[in-house]
Chains A and B, each alone.
Chain A
Amino acid sequence: MIDFLLEIGFEEFPPAFLSKAANELSDKVVGLLNRERIFHRSVRTIYTPRRIGVLVLGLTRRQKPKVVEIQGPPKRLAFDERSQPTQMLKGFMKANDLKRSQIAVRKVKKGEYVCGKKEVIGANSEDILFEEIPKILKTLEFPRTMIWTKGGAKFPRPIRWIVALLDRRPLKFTFAGVRADRHSIGNQHFSFKSIRLEKPREYINLLRHGGVVVDPNERRKLIVKRIKKAVEKTEGKPFYTNEMIEEINCTTEYPEAVVAGFDEQYLDLPEEVLSTVLKNQGNLIWLKPTHRFVCVFSAKKKALQNVRKGYTLVVGSKLYDALFYYKNDSKQGLARMEAQTKRMMWLKGLGSLYDKAIRLSDFADFFKGLPELNLDILKRAARLCKVDLLSEMIRENDFTSLQGIMGGHYAKASGEDTAVVSAIKEHYLPKFAGDKMPSTKEGVVLSIIDKIDNIVGAFLSGNRPSGSYDPLAVRRNGYAVVNLINTNSFDITLFNAVKALLKLYKKDIENKILFEFFTERCNRYLQDKKYRYDEINAVFARWKGDIVDACMRCAALKTMRGKAEFTKLVIGQKRVRNIVKNVKGLGKVSTELFKRSAERKLYKKGMETDEQLNALFESRDYQQILDLLLAMRPDIDKFFDDVLVMCEDEKLKKNRLALVSLINRIFLRFGDLSKIVIEGEKN
């Protein structure tokens, strides 16, 4: 058994995709080993800001042997009349180095053939890794890359060293202009000297000596431990998320922690401002509610004093700025900022931010029927929600992420109703998939209104998304709208909302483009809810933009899908639809033209079902609706068994088609179940 270490060393890697890169590398190395039949006992994924790698212990020196079969000549040409090998067979055996005991006659499709069977000794693991590892490195994918030498390789940051060590031997391949060898580099704040590795098993300890904890899990635990230790004698509770810890993990090779503080006057700033400043300054961890914070840093312990001093200074300066903006904004007041929105253009050709606010407020009327919604609050919040874009705070890059939140604070300071304040604060939510939702009804509706307006505005101003082009992030906005409506069970027909908004714009655009956009977004949303594409297609065949309803219909289909009746139901509509799919211009069904009892029975069943469905659609009991539709199946089958639809008598034929079409329309009240894909499709 031998061990293998691969380490790619680079200048500091972007933390956002470091762990993903490391996992991709280790997955691909494991994939290679499995594919090449190289046994291995354990695998450790390595990453720090300056390296990704994989440490594989207990590999076999060679591939596992493999039995190969080689097809030779047909039996009739392989042996002569005395059953002795012909020249042809001898040639085949010689060419493939086969002994008599290794060949046999086997029946294949084309007849009887001679087959050779032999065990091939596995290749050296070393040769395979030497060949294949550079190929794997070429296939790694990153969101953003650069070049650092003329015509050179692309990678997120310059690669400066590679370790590829198989037991005691370096695999000296070249990648990105760098020769792999046995020399790693430690924490360069400790030493510039390289670390010579005799064998992979030394790696973790030697690097630890060099100031690097290479195992990300170990480092993560160490970070949390250091934080706990640092705050032992301090008041306040460390306020951090797992994401913050992981980001620290991706920017630290050897974590230490120290407590520092800021002037207590800054505690007057809104909490969100404080946590934004601290987070932006290298994920500093606030000890709430005090004026202290923890800084996790990557250096020797003796740097502690300087680090405390430095971060105290820089945080103080940032907070000074924040307070400077905050005071100026508060002095200016909401009313003056609102007046300024008249001079701030929103999107080309679509007026100012002020115009947008008026439009949002008018659009709010469309939502007035919603339960527990205070329309006055909503309209007031709509008028004020964009005002903070004129504030000094939001215009500063460091604080742009606080848009809405600052607007809320300034509204509160101007004496606005607390419900108005919360709606303004929360109307950008959710900002990304999985983000939190606004907590009040008015906040939710304002978020919906604003986002629909962003989308329609984008389409009207030539910023329609296509391919990877989506400058105003309308896809994200659209998804959020669907999510907000469904999560809050709002009884809203999206298409009508869009129509109402377009009226306010007084601009010409084909509704259809927007409807398609929202349908696609809703489709995406339902797919993320794990509904199958064919269930969604079935429901969307008759969709008017009611998202909650679409979800309920999909849910009903999904519930039924597990059961045996499901196929029966689907085939029911398929049979019906197949007959009438290309037929047009059918009149009403005339009962006098019925000749067979199956016709009469089906008609009667259809009419009854249609009648019963009315109440069920009213109460949206889709489970029951599907049961009722299913109950038509015996009569449908009997009809097709007994009645020839395409008969010679034109009148009868037309009447029968009209009957089938009527039944199809009853199904369509729910959706087009013929779009459901059934395995094997029979029954």
Chain B
Amino acid sequence: MKKLRTFENIILDLSKYWQKKGCLLYQPYNSEVGAGTFNPATFIRVLDNKPWNVCYVEICKRPRDGRYAENPLRFQQFYQLQVIMQPAPHDIQRFFLESLEYVGFKLKEHEVRFVEGDWDAPTLGAWGLGWEVWLDGLEITQFTYFQQAGGLELEEIPVELSYGLERIAMLLQGVESVFDLKWNNTLTWGDVYRQNEIEFSEYNFSAADTRLLVSLFNQYEAEAVRLFEKGLPLPGYDYTIKCSHIFNVLEARGAISISERVKMIARVRALASQVAQLYRQKISEQSVLKKGVKR
């Protein structure tokens, strides 16, 4: 009998594949993020300009995408498998396609499309060029060569692969709704997350206290700035991430106008670029120090 590819096994298999390619297995971050890129294992490490290969699952929150568990393909929280290879290997596209085979796709029976996607994360001051990868029309992965992060040019160009794990699992299991996805042999994705989807949709679209959120945004921003002044970019970055998530909730809540939106994005981006600059400055000072010690 054909082995059922459960959601959890797919995650294990993909992780195993990238582990074999030399990636360190990391873990999701302990703060709400919209994408694996926000995890310091990506955002901070790509600023290093040093070899860094890593793979981890990220729990991504996209408040606007909630549909009260009514749309089989749209949900406000999903899992990404994030891979960073820095510098990007020459064969990376083949590695990626092989990873799909590794988790069980017979690629000859599918269409894989690399659809142009100039990726940018405005709140992180990061951008890159690459593709959305479509499997039979469904976007399953973002494939990006980073060019800039925190407004700074990158030298060792990293490649980022962000797999949409639910989508991939749905295709492999042949189910048309995420809620029917087999997580393991007994439970479905719906069993685990349906209630979560309903409640968070309610929260993001109607229940969120916008006043509180605006005030938290201001306070977190101030705290980040205070930490930068103390020369602490990493704790400051934690507060940057929090601002970014609050912004996402406010946007879903319909609480900000177009022009306010632009302004808030600019404020978060300003924090992210301070993180980047400060961090770069610190590591270059430290490497000077280390060299001194060696001598």
Partner of B108, one of A150, A303, A313, A315: A303
Asked if B111 CB lies within 8 Å of chain A CBs, one says: yes
**Chain A residues near B97 (CB, 8 Å)?**
188, 192
For chain A, residues 329 to 377, give those with C-beta under 8 angstroms from any C-beta of chain B.
343-348
Closest A residue, CB atoms, query B105: A306
Contact A146 B87, beta carbon cutoff 8 Å: no
Asked if B73 CB lies within 8 Å of chain A CBs, one says: yes
Contact A309 B136, beta carbon cutoff 8 Å: yes
Contact A324 B87, beta carbon cutoff 8 Å: no
**Chain B residues near A299 (CB, 8 Å)?**
108, 110-112
Contact A189 B87, beta carbon cutoff 8 Å: no
A269-302 interface bits toward B, Cβ cutoff 8 Å, 1 = contact, 0 = none: 0000000000001100000000000010111101
Complex CA–CA separation, A46 to B134 (angstroms): 25
Partner of B113, one of A14, A148, A151, A298: A298
CB distance from A511 to the nearest CB of B (A): 27
Contact B136 A144, beta carbon cutoff 8 Å: no
Asked if A213 CB lies within 8 Å of chain B CBs, one says: no
**Chain A residues near B155 (CB, 8 Å)?**
150-151
Asked if A520 CB lies within 8 Å of chain B CBs, one says: no
Asked if B287 CB lies within 8 Å of chain A CBs, one says: no
Complex CA–CA separation, A158 to B67 (angstroms): 38
Closest B residue, CB atoms, query A185: B94
CB distance from B243 to the nearest CB of A (A): 21
Partner of B111, one of A307, A317, A320: A307
For chain B, residues 79 to 100, give those with C-beta under 8 angstroms from any C-beta of chain A.
87-88, 90, 93-94, 97
Complex CA–CA separation, A149 to B155 (angstroms): 8
**Selected interface stretch from B39-47, B228-236, B253-261:** B253-261
Complex CA–CA separation, A580 to B107 (angstroms): 82
Complex CA–CA separation, A321 to B71 (angstroms): 8
**Chain B residues near A311 (CB, 8 Å)?**
136-137
**Chain B residues near A158 (CB, 8 Å)?**
88, 145
CB distance from A59 to the nearest CB of B (A): 32
B213-247 interface bits toward A, Cβ cutoff 8 Å, 1 = contact, 0 = none: 00000000000000000000000000000000000
Contact B257 A307, beta carbon cutoff 8 Å: no
Partner of B129, one of A157, A344, A345: A157
Closest B residue, CB atoms, query A13: B116
**Chain A residues near B136 (CB, 8 Å)?**
303, 306-307, 309-311
Q: A147-B157, A188-B97 are in contact. Are A306 and B111 (CB under 8 A)?
A: yes
Q: A300-B108, A303-B108, A309-B136 are in contact. Are A192 and B116 (CB under 8 A)?
A: no
Asked if B270 CB lies within 8 Å of chain A CBs, one says: no
CB distance from A263 to the nearest CB of B (A): 12
Complex CA–CA separation, A49 to B115 (angstroms): 10
Asked if A11 CB lies within 8 Å of chain B CBs, one says: yes
Q: Which residues of B contact A (CB under 8 A)?
A: 67, 71-74, 87-88, 90, 93-94, 97, 107-116, 118, 128-129, 131, 134-138, 145, 147, 155-157, 171, 176, 257-260
Q: Can you sample 25 A-B contacts with CB below 8 Å?
A: A148-B88, A148-B157, A158-B145, A160-B90, A188-B94, A189-B111, A192-B94, A282-B134, A282-B137, A297-B111, A299-B110, A303-B108, A303-B109, A306-B111, A307-B110, A310-B110, A310-B111, A310-B136, A310-B171, A315-B137, A317-B74, A320-B71, A321-B67, A345-B258, A348-B259
